[in-house]
Amino acid sequence: MPIQHAILALCSLSTTALIAPRAATPALTRVRVETLNFGEMLQNVARQVGGARASAAASQTAGEKLKALLGKAEGVDPAEIAAACADDVLYEDMASSTFKGPAAVAAYFTTKYQGCRIAVEKTAGNATTGGMTWRREKVGDSSVYGLRGTTYCRFDEGGKLLYVREGSEPLLKPGEATEALLKAVTANVEKEDTPATYEPRAPTGAVAVADYLWNEAYPKGATPAVALELFAEDIRYEDFNYPAPFLGKPAVKEFVEAFDIPGIDFVPLEISGGDVDGGACCFTWIVKVNGQDGPKGISFYESDGAGKISYIRDIPATTPAPLQAIAALVNPELRVFSPRAD
């Protein structure tokens, strides 16, 4: 309808409403009803807008909730963080310690995140479990950034933060050294030639792939080739043990094959749920070295439109440094690889 016609139609409508009715009573009633309806309509709009906000909050993923709490432009607010925590919250900072209770968590943020903002990069999760990747920036200056990390989180049924594991990159990148040491530590472990017992599948989406690889395929004898099948050709793989990311499948293949060491098992602890498309997932794990607890870690997976994994960030615990933890397993008393005598 051309605009002039629309205006004419509107004018004739309002004229109809303004003209004194021939039969007064029914028309007046009609006008009153219309007025009421208009008021109701406004209220409905207000209700819908409010409702949309409320349901947006309810349908936020755990990662988005964590981002809203920690990722503010003006920096963290320790009191607000404490208020968002459950009384029995456990905040595990892999680089320092585990903090219990809201007050200890607030104190942690007061000392560790002074003048800094947590610039959130990616988020993952369903309503209760999830995580985010991030980097430290100075408040008010996003031109440079510092330490990068990943944080896994679990909220309780009341929406309070119940468990967090925070991992950040080690400043000394012990990548190839770790690889060489793991091989040395497990050198006498025979490569088992037992047949793989998992049922091969081709899941799509980060949540389904993480669950399949870590809970089914790897524990039942899958080789890195199985994982590579589920990775995108242009995958970006950040293992913070190494100074640079592995870009593209060939580079990633070489890297994951180097870590396929007998006697080394990566055991998942908590794998987050995902949102509707399950396109991002955050999870925690522990390395078992010859069956004993080794370094802990945290990972973040993201999938592309085809459901293939296109982004991975892996972070091993920095304290106790992975090398220290491994050394402790090899030599529990001295915690070094070669006892020192001078």
Q: Which residue is nearest to ligand NAG (CB)?
A: 273
Reported in sequence order, the residue ranges of 96-205 that DSSP labels E, i.e. its strands, are 98-100, 116-125, 129-138, 148-155, 161-168
Minimum CB distance to ligand NAG smaller for 123 or for 272: 272
Q: How far is the CB of 213 from ligand NAG (least distance, A)?
A: 15
Minimum CB distance to ligand NAG smaller for 205 or for 295: 205
Interacting stretch for ligand NAG, rule CB under 6 A, among 72-80, 123-131, 195-203, 323-331? 123-131
- Within a 10 A sphere around the Cβ of 167, how many other Cβ atoms? 28
User: Closest Cα to residue 313, out of 325, 302, 323?
Assistant: 302
Binding of ligand NAG at residue 104 (CB under 6 A)?
no
Q: How far is the CB of 130 from ligand NAG (least distance, A)?
A: 8
Single residue of 96, 110, 128, 215 touching ligand NAG by CB under 6 A: 128
Interacting stretch for ligand NAG, rule CB under 6 A, among 27-35, 108-116, 120-128, 310-318? 120-128
Minimum CB distance to ligand NAG smaller for 82 or for 90: 90
Minimum CB distance to ligand NAG smaller for 125 or for 175: 125
Q: Is 114 helix (H, G, I), strand (E, B) or coil?
A: coil
8-state DSSP, 141: B
Helices (H), the chain: 3-18, 24-58, 62-70, 78-84, 102-112, 175-185, 206-211, 224-229, 249-258, 322-330
Binding of ligand NAG at residue 110 (CB under 6 A)?
no
Interacting stretch for ligand NAG, rule CB under 6 A, among 122-130, 224-232, 259-267, 311-319? 122-130
Torsion angle of the four alpha carbons 190, 196, 200, 205, in this order, in degrees rounded to the nearest 10: -30
Binding of ligand NAG at residue 126 (CB under 6 A)?
yes
Q: How far is the CB of 157 from ligand NAG (least distance, A)?
A: 9
Interface size with ligand NAG, residues (CB under 6 A): 6
Binding of ligand NAG at residue 129 (CB under 6 A)?
yes
Burial class of residue 72 in the structure, from the number of CB atoms within 10 Å of its CB (0-12 exposed, 13-18 middle, 19+ buried) = middle
Q: How far is the CB of 265 from ligand NAG (least distance, A)?
A: 21
Give CA–CA dist 9/294, Å, rounded.
76
User: Closest Cα to residue 86, out of 151, 167, 150, 157?
Assistant: 157
Minimum CB distance to ligand NAG smaller for 84 or for 264: 84
Interacting stretch for ligand NAG, rule CB under 6 A, among 85-93, 121-129, 160-168, 233-241? 121-129
Binding of ligand NAG at residue 269 (CB under 6 A)?
no
Burial class of residue 110 in the structure, from the number of CB atoms within 10 Å of its CB (0-12 exposed, 13-18 middle, 19+ buried) = middle
Q: Cis bond leading into 21, ω under 30°?
A: no
Single residue of 71, 273, 279, 295 touching ligand NAG by CB under 6 A: 273
> Could you tell me the two tokens for 215?
């809970």
Q: Which positions touch ligand NAG (CB under 6 A)?
A: 126-129, 272-273
